[in-house]
Structure 1
Amino acid sequence: MRWWIPNALTVLRLLAAPGVPVMFLYFHRPAADWLALALFVLASLTDWIDGYLARLWKQESKFGAMLDPIADKAMVVIALVVITGYSGMNPWLILPATVILFREVFVSGLREYLGAKASLLKVTKLAKWKTTAQMIAIAVLFLGTGLGYVEDTHQRVLRWTSSEATQAGLVLIWIAAVLTFITGLDYFLKALPHLKGSKND
C-alpha cells in the first residue's frame, strides 16, 4: 500500500494549489488569510515529505518526477497571484513576482520544446533551494496579511507586527527571485546549444 503514498501526497499538493484562493471566496478575512496560510504551509511540507518517503522506500517513479515540479509551480504561481492582489499591487512585490512567474513559464516552455532532450534540464539542487525560498517567502507574506487583522494585544503576544512580517516577506521574496533568475539562466544556457538547430536535430 505504501507505494502510492508519495504520489498521493504530490497529487494532494497539486489539488491544494487552487484551494488557496478558494479560502478567500468562502471565508471572511482574517479567517481566509489564516486558512490560506495553513493550507499553503501544509501543502509545502508535502514537497519534502513525498520526496523523503520515495527515497526512503526506494519507490521514486516517473509519475512522481513529472508531477512534483508541476505541483510546486502551481502552488507558487497561484499563491503569488493571490498575495499580489491582496498587497494593494505593491511594486516591491510585483517585480520579484514577475521574475518568478516569467521564469516558471519560460523554463516549462523550454522543457516542452526540447521534448526528449528535456532531461538536460533536470532539477538541480539550487532549483530545489529556489522552490524552498519561494514557499517560505510566500508563507511569511500570508502571515503578514493575516497579522494585519490581529488586534494590537495579540500582535504583542506574537512579537511580530503585520508590517514587520510583510517587510521580512518582501526581503525573502527578493532572495527567491534572485535564485529563480539564476536557475532560469542556468537552464537556458544548458538548452541554448539545442536551440540553434532545427527542432528535429
Structure 2
Amino acid sequence: MTWTIPNTLTVLRLLAAPGVALMFLYFHRPWADWFALALFVSAALTDWFDGYLARLWKQESKFGAMMDPIADKAMVVIAIMVITGYNGMNPWLILPATIILFREVFVSGLREFLGAKAGLLKVTKLAKWKTTAQMVAIAVLFLGTGLDYLNVLALEGMTPEQHVAAVAAGEAEAIRTCGTRDCASYANTVGIGLLWIAALLTAITGVEYFTKSLPYLRDGK
C-alpha cells in the first residue's frame, strides 16, 4: 500500500469509528455528545474527499477500494450502537437500525463468499446515497442525544410544570426551543425520519446486491 492522501484519509476514517464510542468513555456528557458529533461529521466528510482526490490525482488503489466501504460500515455500525443505547432502545429507532445492521452484515458475507467474483457487487450510486443518508441521520441523532441531556440537566429532577415555574422565578435554566418545540425532540424526530429513509435505501441496495449474486449462489456455479 502507498500512503497517498486519499488512502490516509480512509485509514483515519476507519480509526475514527471506534473513537466515536470512546468519547463516551473519556468525557462527561454533554461534551461526549458534542465531541462524538464533531468526530463523526469530520470523518464522514473524508468519505467524499478521499474518493474525489483519488480520482482527481489518479491515485485509485486496490487498498482504497477495499478499505473505503469497510471504514463506512464501521462508522455506521458503531455510531448506531451508541445512539440506540443512549436513546433508551426506542422501537422507532431500533427497527431501522436493525435493517441497516442486518443488510451490512449480509452484504459483507456475500462479498466474502463470492471471493474473486465479489467485483460484481461494486458500489452503486444508490449505495452511495444510502451511505450519505445514514451518515446525515446519525449526525442529527447525535445532536439530539446531546440536546436531550441538556434538557435533563435543565429539569434537575423537576416535573415539566415545576420547571416552568422555576424558570419564571429565575431559578432554573430554560430548555432550548426551536419554534414551538424543544430542539432535542425536533432533532430526534428529524433524525429518526432520516434513519427510516436510510433504512429503506439500505434494504433496496441489499436486495439489489443479492439479486446480482444469485447466479453464483446456485450449486454447480
> Does structure 2 conserve the Cα–Cα contact (< 8 Å) formed by 1:3 and 1:59?
no
Match of 1:182 in 2: 204
How much does 1:154 deviate? 7.3
How much does 1:148 deviate? 1.6
Report the secondary structure of 1:18's partner residue. helix
Report the secondary structure of 2:4's partner residue. helix
Report the secondary structure of 1:123's partner residue. coil
Task: Provide the C-alpha distance between the structure 2 equivalents of 1:185 and 1:9, rounded to a whole number of angstroms.
Answer: 30
Task: Provide the C-alpha distance between the structure 1 equivalents of 2:41 and 2:182, rounded to a whole number of angstroms.
Answer: 18
1:27-106 aligned at under 5 Å gives the runs: 27-106=27-106
How much does 1:3 deviate? 6.4
Q: What percentage of residue pairs aligned between the two structures are identical?
A: 75
Q: Structure 1: where are the runs of 5+ without partners? A: none
Deviations 1:11-30 (CA, angstroms, capped at 9, x unpaired): 00000000011000000100
Report the secondary structure of 1:197's partner residue. coil
Which deviates further from its counterpart, 156-165 or 177-186? Answer: 156-165
Task: Provide the C-alpha distance between the structure 1 equivalents of 2:50 and 2:115, rounded to a whole number of angstroms.
Answer: 26
> Does structure 1 conserve the Cα–Cα contact (< 8 Å) formed by 2:175 and 2:182?
no
How much does 1:155 deviate? 2.3
How much does 1:160 deviate? 6.3
Pair 42,154 (structure 1): closer, same or farther in 2 beyond 3 Å: farther
Q: Structure 2: where are the runs of 5+ without partners? A: 155-172
Pair 157,196 (structure 1): closer, same or farther in 2 beyond 3 Å: closer
1:128 and 2:128 correspond: yes
Give TM-score, length-normalised by structure 1: 0.94
Task: Provide the C-alpha distance between the structure 2 equivalents of 1:58 and 1:153, rounded to a whole number of angstroms.
Answer: 53
Task: Provide the C-alpha distance between the structure 2 equivalents of 1:40 and 1:119, rounded to a whole number of angstroms.
Answer: 29
Give the CA RMSD over aligned residues. 1.8
> Does structure 1 conserve the Cα–Cα contact (< 8 Å) formed by 2:34 and 2:143?
yes
Deviations 1:158-188 (CA, angstroms, capped at 9, x unpaired): 9961000000000000000000000000000
- For residue 172 of structure 1, the aligned residue among 175, 178, 194 is 194
How much does 1:156 deviate? 4.2
Counterpart amino acid of residue 110 in structure 1: L
Which deviates further from its counterpart, 178-187 or 158-167? Answer: 158-167
Counterpart amino acid of residue 155 in structure 1: R
Question: Who wins on radius of gyration, i.e. which is larger?
Answer: 2
